[in-house]
A and B are shown apart, each in its own frame.
Chain A
Amino acid sequence: MIGLVDCNNFYASCERVFKPHLKKKPIIVLSNNDGCVIARSNEAKALGIKMGEPAFKIKKLIAKNKVSVFSTNFALYGDLSHRVMETLKTEFNRFEIYSIDEAFLDFSALTSIDRAIFVRNKIRQWTGIPVSIGIAPTKTLAKIANHIAKNYTKKGVFILNNETNIKRALSTFQVEDLWGIGKRSAYKLKKLGIKTALDFKNAETTCVKYNLSINGTHIQRELKGEQCYELKTHQSRKKSISTTRSFAKETKNYNLIKEAVSNFANNCAIKLRNEKSCCSKLTVFLMTNFYKTNIKQHHPKITLFFSTATNDSLEISSMAIKALNTIYKVNCAYKKAGVIVHQIKPEKEVQISLFNKIDRKKRNNLMQSVDKINIIMGRNKVRLASQGYEKNWELKKKQLSPCYTTQIKDILTIQI
């Protein structure tokens, strides 16, 4: 049996751990740049606040109902996510971290409601985060079991294990809510009269294969209780690493954009070094504000290659600036930029090009020293000159909560 543990309203719950007085009060978390709603507590959902809603549109609703508003604090959410996963590690030998707030568990040996409740309570006590656990024979069914656990049970755990309760659950579960079924697939299926997960399970296999390709048939088999997606207990090397951000304001200022791109490139290089990987391809893109139809639109993108795969900040950053220079247009007001590195391979397997001019060993030592200093002294204390100092491009984060668990200056202070 496979279990899916999913944190309830994860970002909102993280904010609550250190602000218990917000229990049972509406909370929303806004996206980068304090733009749209990306997380809601149950109370905020009940007020009718929708996912993705722009914050300025619901200003009155927020004021009237005293909704607590937070900027995304990924340092806090990342740390609490790690704590949840580490707590799971004390109970399960085999599990797969699926996202920041979800993990699949190998429940094979001991499947019982009591054990699930025990795990749920343990996570709650150790980390302060409430979770729901759904257990079923396959991942797809575990997703459904979790949905039931979260919405229709008091204890927050549910086991989907026999024909009758699976049938009952599937008959009310909409096909578009199924794991792995996208909007377009759901649209196709509805046209064919397939509305619920049960309809989908009972549909002709040939018809499913014709309309949704092989993935559709996998989902169908999973609904029938046959495992197609196994637990992935090893994390595979990432295929690409990206850093992309919206700017605080649209800008035509080349220097500002250059600083931002240099920062993004450096960020990618750090991520590569953390994974002991190197990349041989780099993409830089720019975007003007898509929603403003009255301004000149420009969405350029370019990919460049390294002759020797690298994770060196200087090389990656100067390549990114070279890429930027070829796509940047003077008259466009850009809203967003990004750096993506791909063709990633392990450091050890890098073949040095015939035309290599850099003393790679020396540079490697330099990067390691920089990383060491920055771990102790704080992020970007030692940096490239091209990264600049002011970070004027950086996002607005007016409602940021303290980094209670990752910054000593931000830890909880109590008056006793």
Chain B
Amino acid sequence: MKLKSIYKTKTLELYASENSTTLNMPYFENGVSAGFPSPAEDHTQSKIDLNNLLIENPSATYYVRVNGDSMLGAGIVNGDLLIVDRSIEVTNNCIVVAHVDGEFTVKRIKKVKKKTFLQAENNNYKPIEITKEMDFELFGVVAHAIHHFV
């Protein structure tokens, strides 16, 4: 910090402080004390961040809640929270959120020869073939499912 004189009389002088520069002081994580320093100090690491782990592309990631049991086999259970990443390219066998004839659904993409199916992971549901007549749009690829136990 520098001081700059801005006003001066016989008895007093006023200064303006110039704060554009900063002086970095050494920083001690544990504070300064007289005791023995923590032996773990040199080994501290940043905490585990689930965002980092689960979300590759925040601007392309959306959350979706599911109701129903058609994807039980894939480990998607009623009430789960899905993390959907729109930046992932859709490939065979990936699980997607799609919009079919006016409704959203979550299914696995299966390509068999030249046909494409939306396949459930539960024998009670039949695969749906995607045809040209259908109103079909992909929303995104399901990257993770979060299941709450408590």
A residues touching B (Cβ–Cβ < 8 Å)? 20-21, 23, 82-84, 86-87, 125-128, 348-349, 404-405, 408, 411-416
Any A CB within 8 A of the CB of B106: yes
Q: Tell me if B62 and A405 are in contact (CB < 8 A).
A: yes
Q: How far does the alpha carbon of A416 sit from the alpha carbon of B95 in the complex, in Å?
A: 12
The smallest beta-carbon distance between A349 and chain B, in angstroms, is: 7
Q: Which A residues are in CB contact (< 8 Å) with B59? A: 82-84, 86-87, 126-127
Q: How far does the alpha carbon of A83 sit from the alpha carbon of B55 in the complex, in Å?
A: 14
Interface string of B42-73 (1 = CB under 8 A from A): 00000000000000011110111111111100
Q: Tell me if A415 and B86 are in contact (CB < 8 A).
A: no
Q: Tell me if A415 and B68 are in contact (CB < 8 A).
A: yes
With A405-B62, A414-B104, A416-B105: A126-B67 Cβ-Cβ less than 8 Å: no
Q: How far does the alpha carbon of A408 sit from the alpha carbon of B139 in the complex, in Å?
A: 19
Any A CB within 8 A of the CB of B93: no
The smallest beta-carbon distance between B13 and chain A, in angstroms, is: 17
The smallest beta-carbon distance between B2 and chain A, in angstroms, is: 15
The smallest beta-carbon distance between A19 and chain B, in angstroms, is: 9
Q: Tell me if B64 and A126 are in contact (CB < 8 A).
A: no
Q: Which B residues are in CB contact (< 8 Å) with A412? A: 62-65, 104
The smallest beta-carbon distance between B109 and chain A, in angstroms, is: 14
Q: Tell me if A125 and B86 are in contact (CB < 8 A).
A: yes
**Could you name 20 residue pairs across A and B whose Cβ atoms are closer than 8 Å?**
A20-B99, A20-B139, A21-B99, A21-B103, A86-B59, A87-B59, A125-B86, A125-B87, A128-B86, A404-B62, A412-B65, A413-B67, A414-B67, A414-B106, A415-B68, A416-B66, A416-B67, A416-B70, A416-B105, A416-B107
* Smallest Cβ-Cβ distance to A80: which chain B residue: B59
* Smallest Cβ-Cβ distance to A89: which chain B residue: B59
Q: Tell me if B64 and A86 are in contact (CB < 8 A).
A: no
* Smallest Cβ-Cβ distance to B89: which chain A residue: A125
The one of B64, B76, B99, B120 that contacts A413, using a Cβ cutoff of 8 Å: B64
Q: Tell me if B137 and A416 are in contact (CB < 8 A).
A: no
The smallest beta-carbon distance between B120 and chain A, in angstroms, is: 8
A-B contact count (CB 8 A): 74
The smallest beta-carbon distance between A401 and chain B, in angstroms, is: 15
Q: How far does the alpha carbon of A411 sit from the alpha carbon of B146 in the complex, in Å?
A: 14
Q: Which B residues are in CB contact (< 8 Å) with A87? A: 59-60
| Interface hits, B112-138 → A, CB 8 Å | 120, 135, 137
Any A CB within 8 A of the CB of B102: yes
Determine the interface band of chain B, counting residues with CB < 8 A from chain A.
20 to 34
The smallest beta-carbon distance between B122 and chain A, in angstroms, is: 9
Q: Tell me if B64 and A411 are in contact (CB < 8 A).
A: yes
The one of A86, A348, A405, A416 that contacts B76, using a Cβ cutoff of 8 Å: A416
Q: How far does the alpha carbon of A86 sit from the alpha carbon of B66 in the complex, in Å?
A: 27
Q: How far does the alpha carbon of A405 sit from the alpha carbon of B139 in the complex, in Å?
A: 14
Q: How far does the alpha carbon of A381 sit from the alpha carbon of B89 in the complex, in Å?
A: 41
Q: Tell me if A127 and B104 are in contact (CB < 8 A).
A: no
Q: Tell me if B57 and A348 are in contact (CB < 8 A).
A: no
Q: Which A residues are in CB contact (< 8 Å) with B105? A: 414-416
Q: Which B residues are in CB contact (< 8 Å) with A21? A: 99, 102-103, 135
Q: How far does the alpha carbon of A412 sit from the alpha carbon of B58 in the complex, in Å?
A: 17
* Smallest Cβ-Cβ distance to B80: which chain A residue: A416
Q: Tell me if A416 and B60 are in contact (CB < 8 A).
A: no
Q: How far does the alpha carbon of A416 sit from the alpha carbon of B137 in the complex, in Å?
A: 16
Q: Which A residues are in CB contact (< 8 Å) with B102? A: 21
* Smallest Cβ-Cβ distance to B106: which chain A residue: A416
Any A CB within 8 A of the CB of B33: no
The smallest beta-carbon distance between A177 and chain B, in angstroms, is: 32
Q: Tell me if B64 and A415 are in contact (CB < 8 A).
A: no
Q: Which A residues are in CB contact (< 8 Å) with B57? A: 126
Q: Which A residues are in CB contact (< 8 Å) with B76? A: 416
Q: Tell me if B60 and A83 are in contact (CB < 8 A).
A: yes
Q: Which B residues are in CB contact (< 8 Å) with A23? A: 137
With A126-B86, A416-B105: A349-B19 Cβ-Cβ less than 8 Å: yes
* Smallest Cβ-Cβ distance to B69: which chain A residue: A416
Q: Tell me if A414 and B19 are in contact (CB < 8 A).
A: no
The smallest beta-carbon distance between B89 and chain A, in angstroms, is: 9
Q: How far does the alpha carbon of A125 sit from the alpha carbon of B88 in the complex, in Å?
A: 9
The smallest beta-carbon distance between B52 and chain A, in angstroms, is: 16
* Smallest Cβ-Cβ distance to A21: which chain B residue: B102
The smallest beta-carbon distance between B14 and chain A, in angstroms, is: 11
Q: Tell me if B63 and A411 are in contact (CB < 8 A).
A: yes
* Smallest Cβ-Cβ distance to B78: which chain A residue: A416
Q: Tell me if A413 and B66 are in contact (CB < 8 A).
A: yes
Q: How far does the alpha carbon of A404 sit from the alpha carbon of B63 in the complex, in Å?
A: 8
With A127-B86, A414-B67: A20-B60 Cβ-Cβ less than 8 Å: no
Q: Which A residues are in CB contact (< 8 Å) with B104? A: 412, 414
